[in-house]
Amino acid sequence: MTALMNKNNKHLKNVSNIIEGLGNHKDPESIQLLEEIGTNSSLDVIREMTSRALIKKNEHDALAVVITNKGKGINDLSTMVAMSTINELLGLKDKTEALKILTDTVEMHSDEEVRDNARSVKALMALS
Amino acid at 87: N
Among the listed ranges 5-13, 60-68, 75-83, 104-112, the one in contact with another protein (CB under 8 A) is: 5-13
Among 12, 90, 99, 124, binds another protein (CB under 8 A): 12
> CA-CA distance, 14 to 111, in Å (whole number)?
35
Closer CB to another protein, 5 or 108, in the complex: 5
Number of residues lying near another protein (CB under 8 A) = 29
Say whether residue 8 binds another protein (CB under 8 A): yes
> CA-CA distance, 72 to 77, in Å (whole number)?
8
Say whether residue 73 binds another protein (CB under 8 A): no
Would you say 109 and 118 are in contact if contact means Cβ atoms under 8 Å apart? yes
Q: Which of residues 13-72 bind another protein (CB under 8 A)?
A: 14-15, 17-27, 29-30, 33, 37-38, 41-43, 46
